[in-house]
Amino acid sequence: MDTVSAGHDPDPADSRPTGGAPRPDDALRAVLCGDGVRRCPWAPTGPAALEEHDHRWGAPPADSPGWFEALSLEIFQAGLARWSIAQRWEGLRRAFRGFVPEEVMRMTEDDVDDLLLDPAVIRNRVKIEAVVHNARACTGLGPVDWAQQAGSPPEGARPPGSVLELTRRSPEGDGLAARLKEQGLVFVGPTTAHAFLLRTGMLPGHLAGCFRAGPGTAGSG
Express each pLDDT in 139-198 by its tens digit. 899 999 999 999 887 777 899 999 999 899 999 999 999 999 999 999 999 999 999 999
pTM here? 0.84
Question: Can you give the pLDDT at residue 157?
Answer: 84
- Given pLDDT bands bounded at 50, 70 and 90, which one contains residue 83? confident
What is the rounded distance in angstroms from the CA atom of residue 41 to the CA atom of residue 51? 14
